[in-house]
Amino acid sequence: MSETPTTAFRTEFTDVSDRYFDALADCVESVRPGVEYYGRDEAAFCGELERVRRLESDCDDLLTTIRRTVGQSMGPNFTRVYFQPGGVLELFACADETANHVETFFGELAAMEPTLSAAVTADFARMGDLVVEAVEALSRAIGDLFASPAHRKVDAVHDVRATVAEMESRCDTVGRKLVSEAFATGDTAAALVVRELALWLDRAMDAVEDAAEQAVYLDSTAVSTTEAAGPD
């Protein structure tokens, strides 16, 4: 039995979506080794910097593929993507800001060349870890959002939104502690650099949360008859 248009498109879209989130997770995972290498192993740090730049570029290329798949080559089918194309593309645009902000974090760190204490390094690494956890949770939500109706879990997307919100709150807490302690040293110029760097990681987390909110919006506004009414 040959694939239906719905099944064929879902397979194609899931493949490129999975590759996108794999690249995004790999990009964010460079934060911890990057900050730990910084000031200690220049060659290794530069390697992580180049890796982040390459992965951010990979994310851009995959986002272009997703836009082409959804906007140009998608034939009629009974998937959520077909009935909500604009919202789907907005979700990926939100997620893509995460990679952009991580790349900027690395670029600013390399350009400003601040001296980072062990405590600051540990806090940056922790913020990066939390963004990684949030991206992994978002990836699970996307997988469920675009799965066939028979393979979806009840409230999975909403549960992931709550998980990402918790990660965002914890990231904010680490960031506030980091900045407060930096200013407590009395070196205002150095503290301002630390605050600027922390803001880029905070923005990366905010972008994940925005994407999770968009996933909930798509899940909540889906036309109930779209996929149920069509062949899978």
- The CATH number for 155's domain is 1.20.58.220
Tell me whether residue 78 is in a domain: yes
Please report which confidence band the pLDDT of residue 4 belongs to, taking 50, 70 and 90 as the band edges: confident
127-132-135 Cα angle (round to 5):
125
Tell me whether residue 48 is in a domain: yes
Helices 85-112 + 5-28 axis angle, to 10: 20
pLDDT of residue 152: 53
Please report which confidence band the pLDDT of residue 9 belongs to, taking 50, 70 and 90 as the band edges: confident
pLDDT of residue 220: 82
Q: What are 16-50's pLDDT values in tens digits?
A: 999 999 999 999 999 999 999 999 999 999 999 99
Global pTM?
0.89
Tell me whether residue 12 is in a domain: yes
Tell me whether residue 21 is in a domain: yes
Tell me whether residue 230 is in a domain: no
Q: Which two tokens stand for residue 117?
A: 């204490």
* Region of poorest pLDDT, from 92-101, 116-125, 131-140, 141-150: 141-150
Question: In terms of residue numbers, what domain contains 68?
Answer: 5-225
The residue among 84 and 108 whose pLDDT is bigger is 108
Please report which confidence band the pLDDT of residue 225 belongs to, taking 50, 70 and 90 as the band edges: very low
Tell me whether residue 232 is in a domain: no
Q: How many domains does the chain have?
A: 1
Tell me whether residue 231 is in a domain: no
Q: What are 180-206's pLDDT values in tens digits?
A: 999 998 899 999 999 999 999 999 999
Residue 54 has pLDDT above 80, yes or no: yes
Tell me whether residue 25 is in a domain: yes
